[in-house]
Structure 1
Amino acid sequence: MKQSIFITGIGTDVGKTVVSAIVTEALQADYWKPVQAGFAEGTDAERVRALVSNPFTVVHDELYRLHTPASPHIAARMDGIAIDERTILQQAAALQQAAGDRPLVIEGAGGLLVPFSDTLFVADLVRSLQARLVIVSRNYLGSINHSLLTAAWCRAQQLDVAGWIFNDDYLSYEAEIVGWSGYPSLGSIPKLSGFDRGLIAAEAAKLSGTLQAVIA
């Protein structure tokens, strides 16, 4: 049974779902996002399902669908739901068992210190899952600071980091973040106006060799 791969970001709206689709396509993995906060415009699982084209991937429905597009602990509170770590871990184990030789790509919510409850943060779940972590970084003013803070937290918590996937146009940020963080680059995704199955497949082909060597 393969080790699960957890996709996190340095913050919100940095391209985690697109990267999740690319990693899923590159590894012909299964995909799961345990907690979806806000789905008026569709869920991330629906988006990944529309973007992945290989015949092996299974995209699983969310365990928790929360109506409010907010921090999961707030959205859960407003929906009268308690997000339970044990339930997530049990479901993850069942999905990875079902995947067999395929890894399970798990997409997080926001960054590592996004709370699911008063006592459970994304980073806690990564540790409990014993998953390999892929960090998504996107170029914007402040992203170096956010990237290095994320890397420092990963190192302090001894999380199993596979490396970075960079998203958007990068100037010289990519090499500097890699050098300062000590975590390798797994690849870069250029700035694109939109994504479809063809573009996802093309980007997956570029990253496939590195991902297979480092993660699979």
Structure 2
Amino acid sequence: MVGSAAAAAGRQAFAGRGPAELAAWLASGGIEVACFGHGSAKTLEQLWEEVEAGETQLFLEEGRPLREVSVLNVLLTNGQGQTLYEEAQVLPNGSRRPRGLPLSEKLLPGEAWQEAVVRGVMEELGPVLPANPQVEVDEASMQESVETKESQSYPGLLSKYVCKRVSARVLSGLPEGAFTTNEQRSDGLLQHCWVWR
């Protein structure tokens, strides 16, 4: 169904079966995949993992590859009215990537954003939270926007971000000061650096 909707909109969905086909498809659209995996850029394999997981969809639009991602930004506040931000990430290769973003999570296909709030909190902050934390979501605060720009993670790849932004609170268990969490990825350990502002 996605393919037919995309075709009706004058674009063609990527239908490859692996990283090699993805690399060829991107190169045919003018993307230099040799830039992937250097510095703070993610690897071609990581892009393939996003496509396989349904976190990312790829289309050829007017001859140019386009990545579409649905992102949920969760503005987690504490009792002092401060908001939690991911200040930076320390990548597996040791390089530091500035972020300055609230908790962000890619939505999965068919996933309601309300479910993604809880999943995102658990995935990103689970190591510092008590078992079964209570997450209070202000559903009336949800706003949606669309932004198209070149991806930081995949140089040269135009990316369309459908962003949902919502306010929430974790009722207890979050550290009061700056803290870090770790995420095991296929290329090693990713460290998230969190601060309250």
TM-score (norm: length of structure 2)? 0.27
Q: Select the structure of larger CA radius of gyration.
A: 2
Q: Which has the higher strand share?
A: 2
Q: Relative contact order (alpha carbons < 8 A, sep ≥ 6): 1 or 2 greater?
A: 1
TM-score, L = length of structure 1: 0.25
